[in-house]
Structure 1
Amino acid sequence: MSALLPAGIDPTGAAALVLLSVFTSALSASVGIGGGVLLLAAMTFVVPIEALVPIHGVVQLGSNLGRVTLLAKDVAFRLIVPFTIGCVLGAVIGGLLVTDLPENLLLLIIGVFVTATTWLKLPPLGRGERGILAAGGLFATILTMFVGATGPFVMMLMRQSGLSHAGLVATTSMGMTIQHALKVSAFATLGFAFGAWVPLIAAMIAAGFVGTFIGARLLKSLPEASLKLSLKIVLTLIGAQLILRAVSDFI
């Protein structure tokens, strides 16, 4: 298995990420959020920090695309068009801004972002006005170049349009598919070498589709409130651990 992995990637850790992809994709397909953030946090233990955001982006592109395929009839495309316009501009700006930040700083940013998006209740942004959706797409795409997982923010943005839970999950997944595709394209343009990561990425995407299939079947039957509370607790612990890892060198 080691021959199929990039240098420095532990086979046990890689196998754990593949298995985790099943769970996180099922979580996102059923609850709507949390899977991408949880996977990103877990990947910080296995994937080098300089490869974290681009590799997570490809895996999440595959996961969200699979979710859109299964839930296509529920996508509110009227919200996607202005959001996409903002995402395109955000990818251009984010590609110009992204730099090689120190590992501790990236861990700190991700840890704070995970914790903040878990507990902060953001103010309403209106009911799907095109300008707000475009601005949200621009901001989210710039942000995702640095922190990777902006699903909670995008879902909060889409929620303002009064969609059903299935429609919200499907439309958010479509928005994230577009955002991740643009992000991956930006990193490829900047010269990131994805080739060595293809076997691991393919395994994680395939596992993610299995999880998506399971989650889509459970979409209307799971106790959403209990799942969200459990997820908040897990994400808080992960966020705190990332912050502690980031500041450990200064203590």
Structure 2
Amino acid sequence: MYFILTLVGLVAGTLSGSVGFGGGMILLPVITYFYGVEIAVPVSTIAQMMSNLSRAAMGWRQIHWRQVAWFLVPALPLTALGAFGFSVVDKTIMTRVLCVCLIVFSVMKVRGKIHLPAGRKTMLVGGGLTGFINGLLGISGPLSSAVFLTLGLSPVAYIVSEATAAAAMHIVKAVTYGKFDLMNMHIFLNGFFIGCAMMLGNFIALRLVSHVNKKPYQRVVACVMIAVSLWLFVTV
């Protein structure tokens, strides 16, 4: 199990470090298979928090702080609200909702349907929606990536700016989960273990990102997630 989780964490970190999303979409179905969704979401939160913090640190000089700030104004409180919702909803329903969201986001990404106008309004509305879904379901990468792609940033600037915003949301989630007794040392250590593997993947990806064609990576991740999510939906 730990070998599989390490391998998945490395792949998730490499892909998310290359295209700006995909780590959570890969992690959640696998961790859910081993632990169930109630534990998988907090574990994934710790792992993704470490992964995003490492990406932000590796490219901090290229972070676009103003755009990140506009995104986080609505994202942080709605992340906390979504995390509270996760603490009270039925976990079986949560698993199925998670699968449906993964499939919808993946299909939209494959078909190129996630296109948003540039501007402050997109950052505010996109941040709010991303934050709530991130807190509730632990998956928001395609949405936040779509929002930051509207800024027309260079690949590294886009990846590290989105990672900065994502890291802030994951910190809020982790604190909120702790307040509702959804976080303990076992969960933290599992997330830390996977997060270390993701950080290695991030390091590899950010060294290669200037040579990476993002579209094939996005399509591969999306197609894999459609298959995995369908399998998880029918076996839960």
**Correspondences of 1:177-216 after superposition (within 5 Å):** 177-216=167-206
- What SS does structure 2 have at the residue aligned with 1:149? coil
Tell me: CA distance 1:159–1:47, structure 2 relative to 1, closer, same or farther (3 Å). same
Aligned to 1:126: 117
Tell me: CA distance 1:144–1:207, structure 2 relative to 1, closer, same or farther (3 Å). same
Aligned to 1:237: 227
- What SS does structure 2 have at the residue aligned with 1:186? helix
- Bigger CA radius of gyration: 1
Identity of aligned residues (%): 19
8 Å CA contact 2:87, 2:177 repeated in 1: no
Aligned to 2:67: 79
Tell me: CA distance 1:88–1:39, structure 2 relative to 1, closer, same or farther (3 Å). same
| 1:95, distance to aligned residue in structure 2 (A) | 4.3
Post-superposition CA distance 1:148-179 (Å, at most 9, x none): 12011001011111112222111111111111
Higher percent of residues as helix: 2
Q: What is the rounded CA distance, in whole Å, between the counterparts of 2:152 and 2:91 in structure 1? A: 40
Q: What is the rounded CA distance, in whole Å, between the counterparts of 2:139 and 2:114 in structure 1? A: 20
Asked if 1:137 corresponds to 2:122, the answer is: no
| 1:96, distance to aligned residue in structure 2 (A) | 4.3
Post-superposition CA distance 1:44-98 (Å, at most 9, x none): 1112321121111111000110111112122111111111111222134324433
- What SS does structure 2 have at the residue aligned with 1:191? coil
- State the superposition RMSD in angstroms: 1.8
Aligned to 1:41: 29
Q: What is the rounded CA distance, in whole Å, between the counterparts of 2:208 and 2:179 in structure 1? A: 38
* Range that drifts further, 226-235 or 21-30: 226-235
Counterpart residue identity of residue 137, structure 1: G
Aligned to 1:51: 39
Counterpart residue identity of residue 200, structure 2: V
Counterpart residue identity of residue 118, structure 2: R
8 Å CA contact 2:82, 2:135 repeated in 1: yes
Q: What is the rounded CA distance, in whole Å, between the counterparts of 2:191 and 2:215 in structure 1? A: 32
Aligned to 1:5: none
* Range that drifts further, 116-125 or 178-187: 116-125
8 Å CA contact 2:114, 2:146 repeated in 1: no
| 1:123, distance to aligned residue in structure 2 (A) | 5.4
* Range that drifts further, 87-96 or 30-39: 87-96
Q: What is the rounded CA distance, in whole Å, between the counterparts of 1:232 and 1:83 in structure 2? A: 24
8 Å CA contact 1:79, 1:128 repeated in 2: no
Gaps of 5+ in 2: none
8 Å CA contact 2:84, 2:136 repeated in 1: no
* Range that drifts further, 147-156 or 41-50: 41-50
* Range that drifts further, 132-141 or 164-173: 132-141
Q: What is the rounded CA distance, in whole Å, between the counterparts of 2:204 and 2:137 in structure 1? A: 27
Match of 2:82 among 64, 78, 94: 94
| 1:31, distance to aligned residue in structure 2 (A) | 2.0
Q: What is the rounded CA distance, in whole Å, between the counterparts of 1:210 and 1:136 in structure 2? A: 29
Asked if 1:147 corresponds to 2:150, the answer is: no
Q: What is the rounded CA distance, in whole Å, between the counterparts of 2:136 and 2:79 in structure 1? A: 11
TM-score (normalised: structure 2): 0.90
Gaps of 5+ in 1: 1-12, 247-251
Q: What is the rounded CA distance, in whole Å, between the counterparts of 1:235 and 1:45 in structure 2? A: 14
Aligned to 1:172: 162
Counterpart residue identity of residue 159, structure 1: L
Post-superposition CA distance 1:8-58 (Å, at most 9, x none): xxxxx2331122111110111112221221111211111232112111111
8 Å CA contact 1:31, 1:228 repeated in 2: yes
Q: What is the rounded CA distance, in whole Å, between the counterparts of 2:158 and 2:61 in structure 1? A: 12
| Corresponding pairs, count | 233
Aligned to 1:31: 19
Q: What is the rounded CA distance, in whole Å, between the counterparts of 1:84 and 1:233 in structure 2? A: 29
